[in-house]
Amino acid sequence: MNLIGTTVRNIRLAELLGEGGMGEVYLGTDETLGRKVAVKAIRGERRLDAGARSRFLREARVLSRLEHPNICRLYDFVQEPEDDFIILELVSGRSLRELEREGLTLEAKLDVAEQVARALAAAHAMSIVHRDLKPENIMVTPEGVVKVLDFGLARSVDGVEVADGAAAAGDEQVPSGATVTRAGDVMGTPRYMSPEQARGEPVTAASDMYAFGLLLRELLTGEPPFGRDVHPAVLAQRAMWGETAPLVGVPRDLAELTERLTAFAPVERPSATEALERLRFRREAPRRRLRRVAVSAVVVGLVVAAVGSGLGLWHARRSLAKARDAQAEAEAVNLFLERMLASADPDRRGIEVKVVEVLDQAAATVDEEFGGHPLELAAVLNTLGVTYQALGRYEAAHRLLERAQAIRSDRLGSRDPATLASRARFGVLLGDEGNLDRAEAVLREVLADRGAVLGVSHQDTVATLGDLAGVLEEQGRYEEAETALRQVVARLEQSLGRDAPSTLSARSSLALVLRRRGRHEEAEELLRGVAEADRRALGPDHRQTLEAMGDLGAVLAERGRFDEAEALFREVVEARERVLGPAHPDTLTAVSNLSLVLRVRGQLDEAERLAREALEARRRVLGEDHPDTIAAEGNLGVVLLQARRIGEAEEHMRRAFSTAERVLGESHPQTLTWMANLSTLLLRDGRVDEALALAQRSLEIKSRELGPDHPSTMLSQHTVADCLARLGRVEQAEAIYRDLLERSRRVLGDAHPETVRRLGRLTKLLRATGRGDEAANLENELSVAAAR
């Protein structure tokens, strides 16, 4: 029905602008405010049922608060008996499809892509997914401002997801059996669908990023992603399996970004924020070269080095010898190394041990290759150091990262952003090495400098505060860690939004600190919210979603709800095996967690099998000396100890302890963990003198390195007291139990499980020595504390 000349509230409809899958779009005039608007009328046959209408209204309200210069603003949603109306900002200009036909420069294409990425980042931060990103839904104003239209407005219509504008000119109408507008199928436009969307699976932010990758591919190549003149049924099949046309004629760095965006597995696609950063980095390269070349007093032409064009390593070296542009070389070499070493990054598909040989060779020749260009040398040293750190080779990482920050500090100054980035990375490495006091000092300096240079709300400053919180947590200073993380969460919520991935990650870290403080109920509530928000924003298989689920499982296990914990861990293992493969480090971590829960539940055969599989895979993939392999060795020992196979358990625990001591050092947290566990095994086996000697050694180191009130120090002190009690040295044991109980109450709180355990141990000792009245008083305290 034509509505020209009618009014919707105070808006008069003057002209039909177009028709789409849900209805018509009219030019309207708001007679109260005197402004032009676009009015979308949802046709009667497309009206939503009562439940769907309510959901649609809620989403419209959310979208109305999505203020962003690159998103078409939603002003109002009007419900009337016969039609529903969406009142939108009127965007003047031309669609991206029209501009593509006329031709765009590479700079203009990247400008469009960057603005679209900004819009996606803003929407995804609010858990809003577009679901139908395509050139027809992108307008460019005469001033060059990009506006993304129809953000998240498609909703369920009798169980069918429908995208407004799905029948726009140039888009295929998929025949029966492959349609995207029928029940059981999905909303969207076939040429710009992610595989999971085409298969009718849940649509997430990662699905939007796939569509963005297809859009970027078409912008860069001028060719549709699935080829021209493709039969609709074939197109639907290709969309389901991501069978796009070959990507040719695209600069290497942009091709890499496009390939990552269109990865088949949603978990492998970069977020909108990451894609935006890569595009900004690419577009700002000329300005960076001008700025940094001036700093190093090198006057050269702005010529891009040949490394980024995909040439081989030796060809790249010959090109570098020409030294046409010192800073361009540095950026190109750094990007090349990142691509070459990508398999060493645990965030990607996995680690090949052979990459260590490549690293060692690169580290041995780096001075020869870049000795005349200090800033380029620092960039390569930093990349190599970060990769060594990811592989657990901390000594090599320390040497390279320390040199990188020294060079940058000398050439650029200690407060230059590049120097601060190196100093921050070095601080994190010190924490990984177990040098917590020095890590804290470095990170506090970086935090102060970044706050002064960049501002306290800058993402780098906030990231450093989060790193500092991690060090404080490792030091057992949980209250300070909690305070720091609450600041991180507040700043991220303010700058990125409550449900932005970075904010959710920070909330997970906060929950883990609450768990350490014994506040398991708060931790569980927080992690449930985080896991649900991650699932909604990133998808059920995203790494961050699975990490939140794993953390929630750990909290549930500590609360004694092992059946729920086991179910969660099994779900995480299944998802990681499906997406990442059985040998990926993240998968193996999930397998180890499941094994330990099964151990507690008494399912020892399966627990042992999983623990052995995790250990063998980590040895094969990461090598004997990687910290994760050491942890897997010790975990198998813990399972065998539960099965009362003392000899085998001791063999694995001793190997974990000795390897950690050799590789990580005597005072590293993991070394101290396996030293303490081994002393517990010896005590359980009746070798009390050996257990006491090892527990006292552990206590001495922890007291020196971590302080007497660190929870780990108190655990070793508890073991010492247990040994003394077993040896009949009751007075000494009692004195330690009382001291422990007092400090545990002060540091951890009355209701913390360790406090309750120590209260119970002292009560038992008193009864055994005939002091029933004192024991009864403590038992009353114990029952009150346990009830909390």
pLDDT at 720: 93
Same-domain check for residues 642 and 515: yes
Q: What is the DSSP letter of 129?
A: -
Give me the phi and psi of 106, to 5 degrees please. -60, -40
Phi/psi at 366 (5° precision)? -65, -35
> Quick count: other Cβ atoms within 10 Å of Cβ 352?
12
Q: Is residue 374 domain-shared with residue 483, that is, in the same domain?
A: yes
**Alpha-carbon gap, residue 376 to 398, rounded angstroms:** 19
Q: Which has the closest alpha carbon to 586: 553, 624, 543, 629?
A: 543
Report the alpha-carbon angle 409-386-434, nearest 5: 90
Whether residue 447 is predicted with pLDDT greater than 90 in this model: the reply is: yes
Give me the pLDDT at residue 188, please: 56
Determine, yes or no, domain membership for 540.
yes
CA distance 453 to 445: 12
| Rounded Cα–Cα distance for residues 28 and 31 (Å) | 9
Query: What is the distance between the alpha carbons of residues 309 and 331, in angstroms, rounded to a whole number?
Result: 13
pLDDT at position 59: 63
pLDDT tens track for 520-539: 889 999 999 999 988 887 78
Region of poorest pLDDT, from 35-39, 73-77, 318-322: 318-322
Does 780 fall in a domain? no
Judge whether 88 and 74 are in contact, CB under 8 Å. Answer: yes
The string of pLDDT tens digits covering residues 174-203 is 222 222 333 333 455 678 888 888 877 778
pLDDT at 83: 76
345 and 212 within one domain: no
**Quick one: 130 and 21 in the same domain?**
no
In a domain, 782, yes or no: no
SS3 content of the chain, % helix, strand, coil (to 5): 65, 5, 30
Q: For residue range 640-691, what is the model confidence (pLDDT) as tens digits?
A: 998 899 999 999 999 999 998 988 888 888 888 899 999 999 999 999 999 9
> pLDDT of 476-497, one tens digit each?
788 899 999 999 999 988 887 8
Query: What's 21's domain CATH number?
Result: 3.30.200.20
Size (the chain), residues: 788
Coil vs helix vs strand at 165: coil
> Is 29 among the domain residues?
yes
Q: How confident is the model at residue 784 (pLDDT cuts 50, 70, 90)?
A: low
Phi, psi of 387 (to 5 degrees): -70, -40
Eight-class DSSP state of 71: B
Domain end position, chosen among 89, 112, 134: 89
Sheet arrangement for strand 11-19: 7-8, 11-19, 23-30, 35-42, 84-89, 74-79
The whole-angstrom separation of Cα 750 and Cα 583 is 42
> Hey, what are 760's tokens?
């119970």
Residue after which a domain boundary falls, among 68, 89, 110: 89
* Beta strand 35-42 pairing with 23-30: antiparallel
Span 5-31, pLDDT tens digits:
889 888 999 999 887 656 788 999 998
Q: What HEC string does 186-252 produce?
A: CCCCHHHCCHHHHCCCCCCHHHHHHHHHHHHHHHHHCCCCCCCCCCHHHHHHHHHHCCCCCCCCCCH
More confident residue, 93 or 388: 93
CA distances to 9, 90, 92 from 76, in Å: 11, 13, 19
Residues 609 and 523 in one domain: yes
* pLDDT value of residue 355: 52
Going by C-alpha positions, the residue among 646, 621, 652 that lies closest to residue 634 is 652
165 and 104 within one domain = yes
Q: What is the structure's pLDDT at 566? A: 92
Which 8-state DSSP code applies to residue 644? T
* Residue 568 placed within a domain: yes
What contacts 537, CB < 8 A, 6 or more positions away? 124, 127, 204, 205, 499, 501, 504
Cα distance between residue 194 and residue 211, in whole Å: 6
Alpha-carbon distance values, 215 to 193, 205, 288, 367 (Å): 10, 15, 27, 42
Give the C-alpha separation, 141 to 355, whole Å.
Answer: 48
| Domain enclosing residue 20, as ranges | 7-89
Shared-domain flag, residues 276 and 311: no
Number of domains in the chain: 3
φ/ψ (deg, to 5) at 42: -85, 115
Give dist(CA 670, CA 615) in Å, integer. 16
DSSP strands (E only) in 632-674: none
Q: Are residues 76 and 143 in the same domain?
A: no
Q: What pLDDT, in 10s, does the model give residues 709-744?
A: 888 888 899 999 999 999 999 999 999 988 988 888
pLDDT digits (tens, 9 = 90+) for 70-80: 998 888 888 87
- Residues in CB range of 663: below 8 A, 6 or more apart: 625, 627, 630
CATH number for the domain harbouring residue 132: 1.10.510.10
> Has residue 712 been placed in a domain?
no
Task: Tell whether 577 and 654 lie within a shared domain.
Answer: yes
On whether both 352 and 273 belong to a single domain, the answer is no
Is 747 part of a structural domain of the chain? no
Which of the residues are catalytic?
132
Does residue 288 belong to any structural domain of this protein?
A: yes
586: CATH: 1.25.40.10
Q: SS3 for 34? A: coil
244 and 295 in a single domain? The answer is no
Name 36's Cβ contacts closer than 8 Å, sequence gap at least 6. Answer: 27, 28, 29, 30, 90
Lowest mean pLDDT among 35-44, 131-140, 499-508: 35-44
Cα–Cα dist 316/256, whole Å: 18
Count of CB atoms situated within 10 Å of the CB of 65: 8
Domain boundary among 250, 281, 312: 281
pLDDT over 80 (residue 469): yes
Question: What pLDDT score was predicted for residue 287?
Answer: 46
* Whole-angstrom distance, CA of residue 646 vs CA of residue 684: 9
| Residues contacting residue 489 through CB under 8 Å, at least 6 positions apart | 503, 506, 507, 510
Cα separation, 353 vs 344, whole angstroms: 8
Task: Indicate whether 648 and 676 sit together in one domain.
Answer: yes
pLDDT tens column, 241-275 = 777 877 878 888 888 899 889 988 887 888 898 88
**pLDDT over 80 at 749, yes or no:** no
